[in-house]
Amino acid sequence: MPPACPCGRGLPRADCCGPLLAGAAAPTAERLMRSRYTAYVLGDLAHVRRTWHPTTRPARVVEQDVVWLGLEVLATTGGGLLEAEGTVEFRARYRGGEVHERSRFVRDAGRWSYLGGVTPPRPTR
């Protein structure tokens, strides 16, 4: 049995994020976000950099000494096959904590790019 893709869709990596990591265009903003998570898990910083929009891309993407444990997509807005913009809210767990982000994506010339993200405010009690 081939290894499951780290992105959490339950598919083998070759049938899931593998083609995107190899350079194929993501069909939706969510799929790009999932492939970026997979790239972080695998240490594929070239994919992370390649899929970052040039207007917000940092000069360097630095390898993180993080053990990623899982991804949960909480919500999506837009980002579909026929849309030009979208957001994906997710929670990514790592050993010792989690990242909670609402990521912004834009499609340009048929390819989705990551613009940036914000941490949603915590609900007050």
Q: Write down the pLDDT at residue 124.
A: 61
Count of the separate structural domains present in the chain: 1
Q: Write down the pLDDT at residue 120.
A: 79
Query: Over the stretch 11-34, which tens digit does the pLDDT of each residue have?
Result: 999 999 999 999 999 999 999 999
Alpha carbon distance 71, 10 (integer Å): 12
Q: Write down the pLDDT at residue 64.
A: 80
Alpha carbon distance 64, 18 (integer Å): 21
Residue 5 falls within a domain, yes or no?
Answer: no
Domain ranges, residue 104: 13-118
Residue 17 falls within a domain, yes or no?
Answer: yes
CATH number at residue 107: 3.10.450.50
Residue 2 falls within a domain, yes or no?
Answer: no
Question: Helix or strand or coil: residue 63?
Answer: coil
pLDDT band at 123 (very low <50, low <70, confident <90, very high): low
Q: What is the mean pLDDT of the chain?
A: 94
Contacts of 62 (CB under 8 A, 6+ apart): 45
Q: Are 109 and 122 in contact (CB under 8 A)?
A: no
Question: Helix or strand or coil: residue 39?
Answer: helix
Query: Over the stretch 41-78, which tens digit does the pLDDT of each residue have?
Result: 999 999 999 999 999 999 998 878 899 999 999 999 99
Q: What percent of the chain has pLDDT over 90?
A: 86
Residue 38 falls within a domain, yes or no?
Answer: yes
Residue 95 falls within a domain, yes or no?
Answer: yes
Residue 123 falls within a domain, yes or no?
Answer: no
Residue 30 falls within a domain, yes or no?
Answer: yes
Residue 6 falls within a domain, yes or no?
Answer: no
Mean per-residue pLDDT, 78-100: 96
Q: What is the pTM of this model?
A: 0.93
